[in-house]
């Protein structure tokens, strides 16, 4: 067995890795839709100012999408997991969507939807609700022109410009009336992005939910589903039970996804999750079990991933992307632990050491020797013997 000395508290402990799990495989259609919000791979060799420039390794980035498709998962493209608006700008997002759509054409049965938002419009006192509408229209039109499906992302500019629920209703009514195909509406909570506090015109989530539900009910034919990322299963279940017939709930709860996907007597959630990026093999295995009607097997695969996810998404939650990329590096999907904007620095070495332990417990370190070699290199850079 492979072992490594890892920091723990103020000391060091000897940690011995377990054998990686071999997950069952199946092929869609699955009993749940599962979209993984995929990360981008930075290019650390490019000439750049790393905090300012956007340099993407496109080949590795697209290879990772092929990895997700090979496991039967769909891809949610150009979302916050891809550092959208947090390192990746709208121009980079368009390039990402274009390249991913081209790659998808070579993969039979591949599924993808792409984020359309307003991140090219900087929030400010001079930005009006009409400006927000124009920004949404620009991005929706660009994605549809490429042949893409839309995930309608939350807007920082709208959160700043809106004076109440009516402004949200006006913006979403306008955009939904124009889109060609039904969209997924994404309600991203303030724990993921503090600039979105008070979205839908109310800081109290249940009151905000009323506005979101009114928008969906008024345009149900143009809404494939809604993803809420509030890290609160009770709020998700409450909203799920009130959705119009035919409108899906896509769980965005990286703390409670296993039980929400499994569902209850009154329904279940599909999934659009950032955690599906690093735990994709387990997701495929869990869906294979669910496809076979094996609910205990489903939970047996996914349950060990939940402590890992809760650690990756712990507060400050917006730094979760560091853990996602760290896992990709440990598992050989990229040759470096570097992120756009230098975001690899947002988590401590202690946090990453615990992430390493939890990934091992979930059976997700597919090549333990490689993972140990890379972890040792990172520890050395941090001065941890």
pLDDT at 167: 98
- Over residues 205-218, the pLDDT tens digits come to 999 999 999 999 99
Prior bond to 77 cis, omega within 30? no
pLDDT at 26 over 80: no
Instruction: Look at residue 150 and give its three-state secondary structure.
Output: strand
- Over residues 209-265, the pLDDT tens digits come to 999 999 999 999 999 999 999 999 999 999 999 999 999 999 999 999 999 999 999
Mean pLDDT, residues 332-355 = 97
pLDDT at 332: 98
Mean pLDDT, residues 316-343 = 97
Mean pLDDT, residues 301-325 = 97
Looking only at the bridges linking them, the beta strands covering 112-116 and 74-77 are parallel
- Over residues 348-361, the pLDDT tens digits come to 999 999 999 999 99
With respect to CATH, is domain 3-17+30-381 assigned 3.40.190.10?
A: no
pLDDT at 123: 95
pLDDT band at 27 (very low <50, low <70, confident <90, very high): confident
Contact 25, 280 (CB under 8 A): no
Domain boundaries, the chain: 3-17+30-381
pLDDT at 385: 67
- Over residues 97-127, the pLDDT tens digits come to 999 999 999 999 999 999 999 999 999 999 9
User: Which distant-in-sequence residues (6+ apart) come within 8 Å of 279 by Cβ?
Assistant: 305, 308, 309, 362, 364
Q: Which run of H or E residues covers position 285? A: helix 280-291
pLDDT at 369: 97
Burial 128-153 (b: 16+ CB within 10 A, else e): ebebbbebbbebbebbbeeebbbbbb
pLDDT at 208: 98
Q: Which residue has the tokens 């081209």?
A: 102
Backbone angles phi, psi at 227, to 5 degrees: -110, 125
Contact 135, 121 (CB under 8 A): yes
The whole-angstrom separation of Cα 3 and Cα 203 is 48
What CA–CA distances, in Å, run from 342 to 172, 276, 352? 34, 23, 16
Contact 184, 139 (CB under 8 A): no
Extract the runs of DSSP E, i.e. beta strands, from the chain. 3-8, 11-16, 34-37, 74-77, 112-116, 150-152, 183-188, 223-229, 248-251, 270-273
pLDDT band at 29 (very low <50, low <70, confident <90, very high): confident
- Over residues 169-184, the pLDDT tens digits come to 999 999 999 999 999 9
Mean pLDDT, residues 4-10 = 93
- Over residues 191-208, the pLDDT tens digits come to 999 999 999 999 999 999
DSSP assignment of 202-240, as one string? -SSHHHHHHHHHHHHHHTGGGEEEEEEESS-HHHHHHHH
Tell me how far the alpha carbon of residue 233 is from its chain's centroid.
17
pLDDT at 304 over 80: yes
Percent with pLDDT over 90 in the chain? 95
| Mean pLDDT rounded to a whole number for the chain | 96
pLDDT at 201: 98
pLDDT at 297 over 70: yes
Contact 295, 34 (CB under 8 A): no
The whole-angstrom separation of Cα 275 and Cα 3 is 26
Mean pLDDT, residues 7-15 = 93
Helix/strand number for the chain, H first, E second? 14, 10
Mean pLDDT, residues 322-341 = 98
Q: Which run of H or E residues covers position 132? A: helix 129-145
State the burial class of residue 234 (Cβ atoms within 10 Å of its Cβ: 0-12, 13-18, 19+).
exposed
pLDDT at 1: 80
pLDDT at 25: 80
């Amino acid at each position: 067995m492979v072992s490594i000395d890892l920091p723990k508290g103020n000391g060091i402990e000897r940690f011995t890795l377990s054998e990686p799990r071999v997950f069952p495989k199946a092929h869609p259609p699955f009993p749940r839709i599962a979209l993984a919000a995929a990360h981008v791979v930075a290019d650390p060799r490019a000439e750049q100012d790393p905090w300012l420039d956007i340099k993407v390794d496109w080949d590795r980035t697209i290879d990772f999408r092929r990895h997700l498709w090979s496991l039967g998962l769909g891809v949610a493209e150009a979302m916050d997991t891809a550092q959208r608006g947090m390192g990746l700008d709208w121009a980079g997002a368009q390039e990402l969507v274009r390249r991913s759509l081209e790659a998808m054409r070579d993969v039979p049965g591949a599924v993808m939807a792409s984020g359309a938002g307003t991140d090219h419009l900087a929030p400010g006192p001079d930005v009006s609700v009409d400006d927000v509408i124009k920004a949404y229209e620009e991005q929706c039109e660009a994605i549809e022109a490429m042949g893409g499906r839309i995930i309608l992302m939350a807007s920082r500019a709208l959160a700043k410009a809106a004076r109440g629920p009516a402004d949200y209703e006006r913006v979403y009514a306008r955009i939904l009336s124009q889109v060609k195909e039904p969209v997924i509406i994404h309600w991203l909570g303030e724990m993921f992005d503090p600039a979105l506090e008070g979205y839908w015109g109310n800081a109290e989530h249940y009151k905000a939910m009323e506005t979101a539900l009114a928008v969906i009910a008024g345009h149900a034919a143009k809404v494939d589903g809604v993803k809420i990322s509030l890290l609160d299963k009770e709020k998700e279940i409450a909203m799920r039970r009130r959705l119009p017939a035919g409108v899906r709930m896509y769980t965005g709860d990286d703390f409670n996804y296993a039980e929400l996907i499994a569902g209850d007597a009154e329904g279940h959630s599909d999934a659009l999750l950032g955690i599906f990026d690093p735990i994709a093999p387990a997701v495929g295995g869990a869906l294979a079990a669910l496809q076979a009607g094996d609910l205990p097997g489903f939970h047996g695969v996914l349950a060990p991933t939940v402590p890992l996810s809760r650690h990756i998404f712990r507060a400050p939650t917006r730094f979760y992307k560091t853990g996602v990329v760290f896992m990709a590096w440990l598992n050989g999907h990229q040759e470096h632990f570097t992120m756009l904007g230098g975001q690899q620095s947002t988590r401590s070495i202690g946090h990453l050491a615990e992430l390493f332990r939890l990934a091992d417990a979930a059976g997700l370190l597919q090549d333990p020797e490689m993972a140990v070699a890379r972890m040792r290199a990172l520890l050395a850079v941090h001065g941890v013997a």
